[in-house]
A and B are shown apart, each in its own frame.
Chain A
Amino acid sequence: MNAKANKNHVTSIEPAYYEAITEAIRKEAVKILKNETVVGVVGYLPGRRKGTASPALVTTVEEAEKLIFSPACVNNLSVYLTKAKKGVLKQGKVGIVAKGCDMRALAGLMTESQLQREDLFIIGVVCPGVYGFGVQRTGTLTEENIARKCRECTVHMPEGADVAAGTHAELADLTPEEAEEMARIEAMPQTERWAFWKEHFSRCIRCMACRQVCPFCYCEQCLCDKNRPQAVESSPRPAGNMAWHLVRAMHLAGRCGGCAECERVCPMDIPLNLLNRRMAQELKELYDFEAGLTPVEKGPLNEYKENDDQSFIK
């Protein structure tokens, strides 16, 4: 469990910590490729520019020895195993490197019968955090350059992986920025809340990057692409944008694992994870459900109880 007491609190996470994880990942990846447990491993290779990393599917021992883990390993790799990215799983069992927040997506995808546990070999990463966007990508991870989501992370220590790379370390006393921002929005009068979201959504250019990067947006035909009849206007105008964002938030409610990839890739800096988190909080209050690290039978909006609250129905 995530017992706070067992955590090693520090004020910065040095590159050596990530190097140790890198070593552990390489060792494991090489092993499972050699003994043919898996046909490939989805992990990170060094990016072309310094301080970056790119997702990759490695299938040979030579490539596996180049895998890395660093604060630049921001991507949620589970998206590479979904229906939308056809094919990876067809070859056979695959290994995947997964941080805590990515593990949540894997668990969710198992819940939704998109993945099967026996098809995966999960190399869990005991993750102290990754870089935020627009920060200096120097070696050390500090309060200044850590991603917003990592400030409120509850899954530094992933559970249910086949192996775990790393020991426990996390930054001390981070302020949970998203929680603060959400409280600020909640405290606004209704008309201000509308103005706040309207301004954000109006900037959306409908590039759909947020959808492409989300492991849960694996629908082969998205409601928002349909045009006969058209449910959601697809050009980047305020009306369609508002509808798109409400539909997206609704479709991810009770499913979203909080990896914040949607927010990271948004070129218009729309705080999408605030909506995701709000819906997660709402479903926790309503149906005592939280997207966790273990697959469940059914998500909260796919089941019901006869005595669910209906005080809002007259």
Chain B
Amino acid sequence: MHDFEPKIVAFVCTWCTYAGADLAGTSRMQYPPNVRVLKFPCTGRIDPVFILRAFQKGADGVLVSGCHPGDCHYMAGNFHARRRFAAFRALLNFVGVDLNRLQFSWVSAAEGGKWVDVVTELTERVRTMGPMPEFKELEHEEQWSGAINTPELKEAYDSIG
């Protein structure tokens, strides 16, 4: 049996966090290889639907990270994102998603070390939580039970006569 290796998807902005992650790489800092990085022009471009998509497609944890407030390349993208994500978290919580699987961070281009910490911490946390089944299960479910020989359906067919 294999040990559980969490899949982490990181949505990052190109100007700060991506550069920060790059710095961690060029500085040869070690961090868990569980993270898949997707680069965006700005945190403001990271639509909540991307996060859903990641969970649906098998992510056990998601990280969203961009520039610190005030450092946005487009002036206010991260301020807008901050409100949107606060609302989105509340929504996910209300439908019963464990928010510990979803992390938001500010990591600047100079913070290679912080990138390593954030990724390591999230990976370890998700590792102890285990796989995230909810969205994945939905992917494989059909609308109905999939069984077409239920008594109700049989009765319905019989009565068509």
Contact = CB atoms under 8 A, between A and B. Distances in A.
Interface of A: 185-186, 188, 190-198, 202, 223, 231-232, 236-239, 242-243, 246-247, 249-250, 253-254, 275, 278-279, 282-283, 286-287, 300-306, 308-310, 312-314
B95 A197 contact: yes
A70 to B, nearest CB: 35
At the interface, is chain B mostly helix, strand, loop or mixed? helix
Given A246-B48, A247-B49, A239 B56 contact: yes
Interface of B: 47-49, 52-53, 56, 69-70, 76, 79-80, 82-98, 103-106, 118, 134-135, 138-139, 141-143
Contact of B95 (A194, A202, A223, A300): A194
B83 A304 contact: yes
A106 to B, nearest CB: 24
Given A194-B97, A243-B49, A312 B141 contact: no
A286 B104 CA distance: 17
Contact of B96 (A190, A300, A309, A314): A190
10 contacts: A193-B94, A232-B49, A237-B142, A237-B143, A242-B95, A253-B87, A282-B94, A301-B87, A305-B79, A313-B82
Contacts of A309: 86
B86 A275 contact: no
A289 B28 CA distance: 47
A228 to B, nearest CB: 14
At the interface, is chain A mostly helix, strand, loop or mixed? helix
A152 to B, nearest CB: 18
A313 B106 contact: yes
Given A306-B70, A306-B79, 9 more contacts: A197-B96, A202-B141, A238-B138, A239-B139, A282-B94, A302-B80, A310-B82, A313-B105, A314-B104
B90 A282 contact: yes
B82 A304 contact: yes
B69 to A, nearest CB: 7
A302 B135 CA distance: 29
Contact of B134 (A194, A254, A310, A313): A194
